[in-house]
Amino acid sequence: MNFSQYTTKTEEELFSLFKTSAGGLFENEAGQRLKTYGLNQIKTKETTLWDIFLRQIKTPFVYLLIVAAIIAFVVGESTDAWVIAIFILINVTLGLVQEARAERAIALLKKYLPSKARVLRDGIEKTIDKPLIVPGDIILLEHGDIAPVDLYLLKCENLIVDESVLTGESAAVYKTPGPLKKEAKEIFEAKNIVFAGTAIVSGELKGLVIGTGKNAVLGEIAKLVSAIKKESVYEKNLLKFSRLILKIVVVMIVVIYVANLAIKGSTNILNYSVFCIALIVGIIPEALPLIVVFSLSNGALKLAKQKVVVRRLAAVEDLGNIEILCSDKTGTLTEGKMVLDKVFSGDKNKCIQYALLSSAFVKEEIESSLTPFDAAIMAQADGDARSFLNEFRSIKEIPFSPERLINSVLIKPQKGNNILIIKGAPEKIFELSSQFHDGLSLKQVQEQTIKEGKMGKRILAIAYKELNKETYSEDDEKDLIFLGYFSF
């Protein structure tokens, strides 16, 4: 699906294109579209026990051992044949059990994923199974949800989305409704599109479904990935080793046969066959696959204790053989979780308290609704800072937007004037500030933020002022007192 074509269209144009309305589709129309577009799911080939069993057999080394066992049986060397067969059996059984457990764990994890979605049908809100969503549906999502489809934003409030599943970028992005001035060619440019598989970090939204199942961006990626069959480094090395052994065996057999003919003039085929079997059994390390599988299984068990499911044993070897690891431009590896590194302020305690007061936590929502920045600050706050929140309540908020680069909250204390707290990009806070708290200076703060930025840190500045009003507008967001900044 080419999402770009929808990024510059208005709400009315999309309603006309998808033959829908703000009240959503009628049930009978949704049923017809389900027949046309199919279920909203990405079909993947189910891995059965037979598939896993064949995966253990389909290795060059096992092929070599099977051939050696068959020849041994044919020429009467049953002991050698049974020894090789037992090694093959143990090797295959261990791999089968380990990988079958991994597949079962993945299947159980999938059952915990939410399978329902809220949509507008016949003008009312309904909860339906996610596979039944069709293009033209109006869908409702909130913080904690994972988008089941690609959708165009009709309406949202303080919407922050984690797109790392598609872009690899750990920082969540802000989304805004309405058409863009020019078509967004890349995913990260589409500020008015929420893509399937991305997670809603904060806020809530109402959107028009523009792509489902294989026609969503995630579906196209899944189709490309499923078409790629790539051998692991372990499998490639094992194939090279098997070919080397095969070449050595063939060359030695030919050389010895030719030598026999040259010296004796003839050779006994039966004796020569027995000799060849002895040679093959002697050269092939029958226990090698077994030792490798034991080692990989041990690695898989250690990873399982760290809550990592290993689907294929060969992946353990690949993971251990990493020599060059490419990271983002800052050269850091993260857990995808923001961590507060430094508080730069003349009054660090007040800085943290005011940052908490300006967060979504004040609105009596659950802490999972916090932005990554707010969550990082909350994690560093002590008990006194958290109890401080109970002395205030939120009156009004103007949420963050990419155009404003700040968000502001009007807080009412139990006594005294209301407090307007502004939080956002440092350069924007500098513009709005006329005073600097506790001896800080504009030059000093600017130098520090530039220094932090060069180190790859993310900076969040905060300022405030007392406001003897019960409401406010953007015109009131000036003549602030700069309080400090946070480095993440």
pLDDT tens digit string along 383-412? 776 677 777 888 888 877 777 888 888 888
Q: How many angstroms separate the CA atoms of 251 and 268, rounded? A: 19
Contact 435, 482 (CB under 8 A): yes
Using one digit for the tens of pLDDT, what is the confidence trace for 79-104?
Answer: 777 877 887 787 778 777 767 776 67
Q: Considering the chain, what is the average pLDDT of its residues? A: 79
Q: How many angstroms separate the CA atoms of 69 and 86, rounded? A: 10
DSSP reduced 3-state for 457: coil
DSSP reduced 3-state for 85: helix
Q: Which of 53-62, 148-157, 221-230, 253-262 tops mean pLDDT?
A: 148-157
Contact 257, 273 (CB under 8 A): no
pLDDT of 46 higher than 70: no
- What domains can be seen in the chain, in order of their start residue? 3-17+133-222 (2.70.150.10), 41-112+230-328 (1.20.1110.10), 342-487 (3.40.1110.10)
Active site residue 438: no
User: How far does Cα 170 stand from its chain's mean position?
Assistant: 9
H or E, element range at 219? helix 217-226
Active-site residue, from 51, 122, 129, 328: 328
Q: How many angstroms separate the CA atoms of 207 and 202, rounded? A: 15
Structure tokens that stand for 297 in this block: 């299984």
Q: Which residue has the tokens 């027949």?
A: 35
* Ramachandran assignment for 14, one of left (phi > 0), alpha (psi -120 to 50 degrees), beta (any other): alpha
Give the pLDDT score at 45.
Answer: 63
Task: List helix spans (H) across 112-216.
Answer: 164-167
Segment 326-347 shows an average pLDDT of 72
Q: How many angstroms separate the CA atoms of 32 and 28, rounded? A: 6
The pTM is what? 0.60
pLDDT of 29 higher than 80: yes
Q: At what angle do helices 60-74 and 269-283 cross, to 10 degrees?
A: 150
Q: How many angstroms separate the CA atoms of 154 and 235, rounded? A: 49
Higher pLDDT, 322 or 75: 322
pLDDT range class, residue 468, cuts 50, 70, 90: confident
Contact 147, 137 (CB under 8 A): no
- Side-chain-side CA neighbours of 275 within 13 Å: the count stands at 13
Structure tokens that stand for 13 in this block: 């144009």
Task: List helix spans (H) across 422-482.
Answer: 426-432, 442-454
E strand residue ranges, 212-339: none
* Max CA pair span of the chain: 115
Please state whether beta strands 150-162 and 193-194 pair in parallel, antiparallel, or not at all (unpaired). Answer: antiparallel
The residues near 90 (Cβ < 8 Å, ≥ 6 apart) are: 290
Sign of the C-alpha dihedral computed for residues 120, 123, 126 and 129 taken in this order: negative
Smallest CA-to-CA distance from 64 within 237, 293, 273, 243 is with 243
Segment 195-204 shows an average pLDDT of 86
